[in-house]
Amino acid sequence: MSDTLIIVNFKTYEGSQGFSAEALARAMESIDTDARLVAAVSALDLSKVVEAAPDLEVWCQHLDPIGFGSNTGWLHPETAIHRGAKGTLINHAEHKVSLEHVAMLLDQVPEGFEICACAADINEARALAALVPNYVAVEPPELIGGDISVTSADPEIVSGTASAVMETSDQVGVLCGAGVKSGLDVSRAMELGVRGVLLASGVTKSSDPVEALNDLVSLL
Protein backbone atom coordinates (compact mmCIF):
# COMPACT_ATOMS: atom_id res chain seq x y z
CA MET A 1 0.00 0.00 0.00
CA SER A 2 1.53 3.32 -1.09
CA ASP A 3 1.63 6.20 1.38
CA THR A 4 2.40 8.66 -1.43
CA LEU A 5 0.22 11.77 -1.63
CA ILE A 6 -0.19 13.45 -5.02
CA ILE A 7 -2.06 16.76 -4.98
CA VAL A 8 -3.04 18.15 -8.38
CA ASN A 9 -3.66 21.88 -8.12
CA PHE A 10 -6.17 22.84 -10.81
CA LYS A 11 -5.26 26.56 -10.42
CA THR A 12 -7.22 28.59 -13.00
CA TYR A 13 -5.94 26.90 -16.13
CA GLU A 14 -8.48 26.81 -18.95
CA GLY A 15 -8.26 23.03 -19.08
CA SER A 16 -9.16 22.63 -15.41
CA GLN A 17 -12.07 25.02 -14.88
CA GLY A 18 -15.82 24.54 -15.18
CA PHE A 19 -16.81 21.47 -17.20
CA SER A 20 -13.12 20.76 -17.83
CA ALA A 21 -12.52 20.60 -14.08
CA GLU A 22 -15.24 17.98 -13.78
CA ALA A 23 -13.72 15.95 -16.62
CA LEU A 24 -10.24 16.15 -15.11
CA ALA A 25 -11.59 15.06 -11.73
CA ARG A 26 -13.22 12.04 -13.35
CA ALA A 27 -9.89 11.24 -15.02
CA MET A 28 -8.15 11.36 -11.64
CA GLU A 29 -10.85 9.16 -10.15
CA SER A 30 -10.24 6.55 -12.87
CA ILE A 31 -6.55 6.03 -12.09
CA ASP A 32 -5.75 2.59 -10.67
CA THR A 33 -3.20 3.27 -7.94
CA ASP A 34 -2.61 2.87 -4.23
CA ALA A 35 -1.32 6.44 -4.09
CA ARG A 36 -3.62 9.03 -2.54
CA LEU A 37 -4.77 11.42 -5.27
CA VAL A 38 -6.22 14.81 -4.31
CA ALA A 39 -7.70 17.49 -6.56
CA ALA A 40 -7.29 21.07 -5.30
CA VAL A 41 -9.94 23.05 -7.13
CA SER A 42 -11.38 26.51 -7.47
CA ALA A 43 -14.05 27.36 -4.91
CA LEU A 44 -16.38 28.03 -7.84
CA ASP A 45 -15.98 24.44 -9.05
CA LEU A 46 -15.90 22.69 -5.68
CA SER A 47 -19.42 21.33 -5.40
CA LYS A 48 -19.64 20.33 -9.07
CA VAL A 49 -16.30 18.50 -8.94
CA VAL A 50 -17.35 16.64 -5.79
CA GLU A 51 -20.58 15.66 -7.54
CA ALA A 52 -18.78 14.61 -10.74
CA ALA A 53 -16.16 12.47 -8.99
CA PRO A 54 -17.62 11.32 -5.67
CA ASP A 55 -14.81 8.86 -4.95
CA LEU A 56 -12.06 11.44 -5.44
CA GLU A 57 -10.71 13.47 -2.52
CA VAL A 58 -11.27 17.15 -3.26
CA TRP A 59 -9.66 20.14 -1.56
CA CYS A 60 -9.93 23.90 -1.90
CA GLN A 61 -7.05 25.98 -3.23
CA HIS A 62 -7.44 28.53 -0.43
CA LEU A 63 -9.60 29.35 2.60
CA ASP A 64 -9.87 32.28 4.99
CA PRO A 65 -10.21 32.15 8.80
CA ILE A 66 -13.49 34.06 8.95
CA GLY A 67 -16.85 33.69 10.67
CA PHE A 68 -20.25 34.21 9.15
CA GLY A 69 -21.01 37.84 8.40
CA SER A 70 -19.79 40.76 6.32
CA ASN A 71 -16.84 39.20 4.49
CA THR A 72 -17.36 39.92 0.80
CA GLY A 73 -15.09 37.86 -1.44
CA TRP A 74 -13.61 35.74 1.36
CA LEU A 75 -13.87 31.93 1.53
CA HIS A 76 -15.51 30.47 4.62
CA PRO A 77 -14.16 27.06 5.78
CA GLU A 78 -17.54 25.78 6.96
CA THR A 79 -19.11 26.51 3.58
CA ALA A 80 -16.31 24.62 1.83
CA ILE A 81 -16.74 21.64 4.14
CA HIS A 82 -20.50 21.69 3.56
CA ARG A 83 -19.82 21.58 -0.19
CA GLY A 84 -17.57 18.52 0.16
CA ALA A 85 -14.03 19.83 0.66
CA LYS A 86 -11.80 17.51 2.69
CA GLY A 87 -8.85 19.89 2.94
CA THR A 88 -7.19 23.00 1.57
CA LEU A 89 -3.96 24.49 0.37
CA ILE A 90 -2.84 27.69 2.07
CA ASN A 91 -0.04 30.20 1.48
CA HIS A 92 0.66 29.08 -2.08
CA ALA A 93 3.28 31.20 -3.84
CA GLU A 94 0.46 32.64 -5.97
CA HIS A 95 -1.69 33.49 -2.93
CA LYS A 96 0.55 34.33 0.01
CA VAL A 97 -0.86 34.95 3.49
CA SER A 98 0.57 35.67 6.93
CA LEU A 99 1.59 33.09 9.52
CA GLU A 100 -1.26 34.47 11.62
CA HIS A 101 -3.71 33.66 8.82
CA VAL A 102 -2.47 30.06 8.72
CA ALA A 103 -2.58 29.72 12.51
CA MET A 104 -6.13 31.09 12.71
CA LEU A 105 -7.29 28.76 9.95
CA LEU A 106 -5.78 25.76 11.73
CA ASP A 107 -7.64 26.76 14.88
CA GLN A 108 -10.93 27.08 13.03
CA VAL A 109 -11.19 23.92 10.96
CA PRO A 110 -12.48 20.69 12.53
CA GLU A 111 -10.39 17.62 13.21
CA GLY A 112 -9.98 15.54 10.08
CA PHE A 113 -9.99 18.51 7.71
CA GLU A 114 -6.48 18.65 6.27
CA ILE A 115 -4.32 21.67 5.57
CA CYS A 116 -1.23 21.78 3.37
CA ALA A 117 0.77 24.97 3.95
CA CYS A 118 3.09 25.95 1.10
CA ALA A 119 6.60 27.29 1.64
CA ALA A 120 9.08 28.96 -0.68
CA ASP A 121 12.17 27.80 1.20
CA ILE A 122 13.44 25.85 4.20
CA ASN A 123 13.08 28.74 6.66
CA GLU A 124 9.46 29.34 5.75
CA ALA A 125 8.79 25.60 5.88
CA ARG A 126 10.22 25.48 9.40
CA ALA A 127 8.05 28.42 10.52
CA LEU A 128 4.93 26.83 9.07
CA ALA A 129 5.74 23.42 10.56
CA ALA A 130 5.79 25.02 14.02
CA LEU A 131 2.05 25.68 13.55
CA VAL A 132 1.56 21.92 12.92
CA PRO A 133 -0.51 21.76 9.73
CA ASN A 134 -1.00 18.29 8.26
CA TYR A 135 1.55 18.97 5.53
CA VAL A 136 4.12 21.52 4.47
CA ALA A 137 4.91 21.64 0.75
CA VAL A 138 8.13 23.31 -0.34
CA GLU A 139 7.97 24.93 -3.78
CA PRO A 140 10.74 27.29 -4.95
CA PRO A 141 8.73 30.00 -6.79
CA GLU A 142 11.20 30.29 -9.65
CA LEU A 143 10.63 26.63 -10.59
CA ILE A 144 6.82 26.65 -10.45
CA GLY A 145 5.32 25.94 -13.87
CA GLY A 146 8.73 25.19 -15.35
CA ASP A 147 10.09 22.20 -17.21
CA ILE A 148 12.67 21.14 -14.62
CA SER A 149 11.53 19.42 -11.45
CA VAL A 150 12.67 20.72 -8.09
CA THR A 151 13.94 17.18 -7.44
CA SER A 152 16.54 17.71 -10.17
CA ALA A 153 17.08 21.47 -10.04
CA ASP A 154 17.41 21.77 -6.26
CA PRO A 155 17.32 18.41 -4.48
CA GLU A 156 18.94 19.95 -1.40
CA ILE A 157 15.90 22.12 -0.71
CA VAL A 158 13.73 19.00 -0.75
CA SER A 159 15.89 16.93 1.58
CA GLY A 160 16.68 19.98 3.70
CA THR A 161 13.01 20.80 4.14
CA ALA A 162 12.23 17.20 5.07
CA SER A 163 14.89 17.33 7.80
CA ALA A 164 13.92 20.80 9.05
CA VAL A 165 10.24 19.95 9.32
CA MET A 166 10.94 16.65 11.08
CA GLU A 167 13.13 18.49 13.61
CA THR A 168 10.32 21.01 14.19
CA SER A 169 7.39 18.58 14.39
CA ASP A 170 7.18 14.88 13.63
CA GLN A 171 3.42 15.31 13.14
CA VAL A 172 3.84 17.24 9.88
CA GLY A 173 4.24 15.48 6.55
CA VAL A 174 6.43 17.05 3.87
CA LEU A 175 5.65 17.42 0.18
CA CYS A 176 7.55 19.09 -2.63
CA GLY A 177 6.50 20.77 -5.83
CA ALA A 178 7.53 22.96 -8.77
CA GLY A 179 8.18 21.40 -12.15
CA VAL A 180 7.07 17.91 -11.09
CA LYS A 181 5.71 16.11 -14.13
CA SER A 182 6.75 12.43 -14.22
CA GLY A 183 6.87 9.23 -12.29
CA LEU A 184 10.64 9.63 -12.06
CA ASP A 185 10.15 13.05 -10.44
CA VAL A 186 7.79 11.51 -7.88
CA SER A 187 10.19 8.62 -7.21
CA ARG A 188 13.09 11.03 -6.68
CA ALA A 189 10.96 13.11 -4.32
CA MET A 190 10.28 10.07 -2.17
CA GLU A 191 14.00 9.17 -2.15
CA LEU A 192 14.73 12.69 -0.88
CA GLY A 193 12.55 12.07 2.16
CA VAL A 194 9.14 13.58 1.41
CA ARG A 195 5.68 12.02 1.53
CA GLY A 196 4.50 13.15 -1.89
CA VAL A 197 4.19 15.97 -4.38
CA LEU A 198 2.12 19.03 -5.23
CA LEU A 199 1.87 19.79 -8.95
CA ALA A 200 -0.31 21.49 -11.52
CA SER A 201 0.71 22.03 -15.14
CA GLY A 202 2.14 18.54 -15.61
CA VAL A 203 -1.47 17.32 -15.49
CA THR A 204 -3.69 20.35 -16.05
CA LYS A 205 -1.93 21.41 -19.26
CA SER A 206 -1.34 17.89 -20.58
CA SER A 207 -2.95 16.89 -23.87
CA ASP A 208 -3.66 13.50 -22.26
CA PRO A 209 -4.25 13.91 -18.49
CA VAL A 210 -4.90 10.20 -17.95
CA GLU A 211 -1.54 9.31 -19.49
CA ALA A 212 0.14 12.01 -17.40
CA LEU A 213 -1.49 10.74 -14.22
CA ASN A 214 -0.60 7.14 -14.95
CA ASP A 215 3.00 8.20 -15.52
CA LEU A 216 3.07 10.01 -12.16
CA VAL A 217 2.11 6.84 -10.27
CA SER A 218 4.01 4.40 -12.51
CA LEU A 219 7.00 3.90 -10.19
CA LEU A 220 5.12 3.68 -6.88
Task: Determine the pLDDT at residue 1.
Answer: 40
Percentage, residues of the chain above pLDDT 90: 97
Q: What's this model's pTM, rounded to 2 decimal places?
A: 0.96
Q: Could you report the per-residue pLDDT of 29-63, keeping only the tens digit for each?
A: 999 999 999 999 999 999 999 999 999 999 999 99
Which one of 22, 57, 124, 139 is the catalytic residue?
A: 139
pLDDT grade for 3, boundaries at 50, 70 and 90: confident
Q: Could you report the per-residue pLDDT of 157-195, keeping only the tens digit for each?
A: 999 999 999 999 999 999 999 999 999 999 999 999 999
Asked if 92 is an active-site residue, the reply is yes
Structural domains for the chain? 5-216 (3.20.20.70)
Encode the chain in three state secondary structure: CCCCEEEEECCCCHHHCCHHHHHHHHHHHCCCCCCEEEEEECCCCHHHHHHHCCCCEEEECCCCCCCCCCCCCCCCHHHHHHCCCCEEEECCCCCCCCHHHHHHHHHHCCCCCEEEEEECCHHHHHHHHCCCCCEEEECCHHHCCCCCCHHHHCHHHHHHHHHHHHHHCCCCEEEEECCCCCHHHHHHHHHCCCCEEEECHHHHCCCCHHHHHHHHCCCC
Q: Could you report the per-residue pLDDT of 116-150, keeping only the tens digit for each?
A: 999 999 999 999 999 999 999 999 999 998 889 99
Task: Determine the pLDDT at residue 146.
Answer: 87
Which one of 92, 142, 167, 211 is the catalytic residue?
A: 92
